[in-house]
Amino acid sequence: MICPKRTSELLDLHLAPFKDKDPAWEIGVSKIAGRGVVATRSLKRGEIIFRDSPLLIGLAAHEEDSLNACSVCLKMLPDTRFMCRQGCGLPVCSLCAKKKQHKSDCDLLKSWGPNEPDVANSVIIRLLCVARALNLSKEQRDLIYCLQANLDNNHRTEVRNAAKCFKNFPTDKKIIEIMNRTVAVLRTNGFDKTTDRTNDNQEFNYRALYPLFGVVNHDCIPNAYYTFEDKTNNMIVRAAVDIPEGFEVTTTYTKLFTGNIARHLFLKMKKSFTCKCSRCSDPTEKGAFISGLYCRDTNCTGLVVPEISGLPHPNWNCLECKQKSTHAQMMKSQDFASGAINAKANSNSLRTLVQYLNEKSDSFIPSSNYVVIDAKMSVLQRLQQGREDCSEELAHNTRLRYSRDITQLMDKLGLGDSLLRTHMEEMLRREEERRAKRLAEEAEKQRKLAELQAKAAEADKLLEVLEKEQAEQAEQDAKSGAVGTADPGTAPAPPPAATVELA
């Protein structure tokens, strides 16, 4: 472990532009692993803990259709005709072509002699983030070396493959070593589509290294969350819950709604450690039952959860009848349920999926299970893009119901603020408002109807009186007519037919 003091000094240099004179954090020895970021005073939920800027940032260039972006400002360009005319093999917008950043990128890559400088090449564009480490100051590079790096067999592949795209790629061992190390540090601590570091459903399409954030350790119920500033790509880390002084600031490296076994496997494989947080030590995951399945005994209504053993294939226990099942047995149930729900999710009808989740899936899989949660999240996402074949009524009810389900799940897990929570709560509030408005409109309609009915009743009464009067008049006329001459022309008119029409 590199000493926390040296890490602090290098981080101070990196963060100097933010001029935070009284930071709420320090680098200290962590209870979770090695060193971590510790709160030096108590922090209120929502309060900013720190800001960080990217030490390295570049285009991720994972897909061919994302190659038409500027390698400096990272903005999308209208097409791929923006390759630098100097022959460095990088796409760059006309504004950034004159900037210092491109000058140093350009000189470096030109000296390596790209084979086809006029063609956007994802390997070269992707490598830029790594190659930029060569142009950093000594302190900045030391900071990269201060960060955790998983130096497995694969970390050299990227640079080795990139070498094939240049005529004079460096052979100097030191230079190659710096780039390989940077790849490993990026893979362990950086943001990239492949590293799956985003916990919050936020789109961050770049490859980037935020050094202070890189020191923040993992917890499956993180007490901090982050957002990015659009213009600068600076990161803002806030307290997700109240954090007492001396407590470690944590983030999550895994998706929030995966079960204990899947999270453990991911952390073991990708991050090389075993999480021992409070959620991981609880087979029910704080009563959220994200891995929960129904008991195999059809007479038992209990939920079955995996044992906390640290093994990839643990035994499972029914919380009701205490029956033990093997991992393979329970995986059969899980695979069946996942298959059934995914088949509906992959069909084109959103309405079918929603109806299936609302009416059918509960009979074979508990609604707390991650496959149901995932499906609900994808329904909400699809609804955001359009209603597809859902009626307005169904779309509204679904948004209301699912955003409530997910908010409740976050509450159960003890998860504080996050972008996802903000998003869900906003949706819930909007839908509740819409429902209240609809109820008010319905009540108004009813009131108007009642008013009309009262008026009609009044009219009926008036007519009744009128008819009665007319009848009396007719009777009188008849009496007087019997005395005088009978003249058919002055015979009383029949009672008006209006009564019938009104009714």
Q: Which residues contact Zn ion (rule: CB under 5 A)?
A: 70, 72-73, 84, 86, 88, 93, 96, 106, 220, 275, 277, 280, 295, 297, 300, 302, 318, 320-321
CA 254 vs CA 64, 85, 197, 222, 267: distances in Å: 27, 42, 7, 10, 8
* Residue placing its CB nearer to Zn ion in the complex, 242 or 297: 297
Q: How far is the CB of 199 from Zn ion (least distance, A)?
A: 13
User: 3-state DSSP call for residue 327?
Assistant: helix
- Residue 279 token pair: 């959620």
Of the pair 13, 321, the CB lying nearest Zn ion is at: 321
Q: In the complex with Zn ion, which residue's Cβ is closer, 9 or 297? A: 297
Q: How far is the CB of 379 from Zn ion (least distance, A)?
A: 27
Using the minimum distance from each CB to Zn ion, give the nearer residue, 128 or 212: 128
Q: Which is nearer to Zn ion, 90 or 179 (CB)?
A: 90
**What CA–CA distance (Å, rounded) separates 316 from 306?**
4
Our CB check for Zn ion shows the closer of 75 and 429 to be 75
Q: At what angle do helices 327-346 and 370-385 cross, to 10 degrees?
A: 10
Is the separation of the CB atoms in 27 and 215 below 8 Å? yes
Pairing of strands 48-52, 217-218: unpaired
In whole angstroms, the minimum distance from the beta carbon of 144 to Zn ion comes to 24
Asked if residues 224 and 49 have their Cβ atoms less than 8 Å apart, the reply is yes
Contact predicate 182/126, CB 8 Å: no
Task: Indicate the DSSP class of residue 156.
Answer: G
Residue 108 or 175 having the CB closest to Zn ion: 108
**Residue 113 to residue 165: CA distance in whole angstroms:** 9
Of 352, 52, 328, the closest CA to residue 211 belongs to 52
Closest distance of CB 296 from Zn ion, Å: 8
Structure tokens at 152: 């497995």
Smallest gap, in angstroms, from Cβ of residue 213 to Zn ion? 19
Beta-bridged to residue 305, according to DSSP, are 317
- Provide, rounded to whole angstroms, the least separation between the CB of residue 17 and Zn ion: 21
Other beta carbons less than 10 A from residue 431's beta carbon: 20
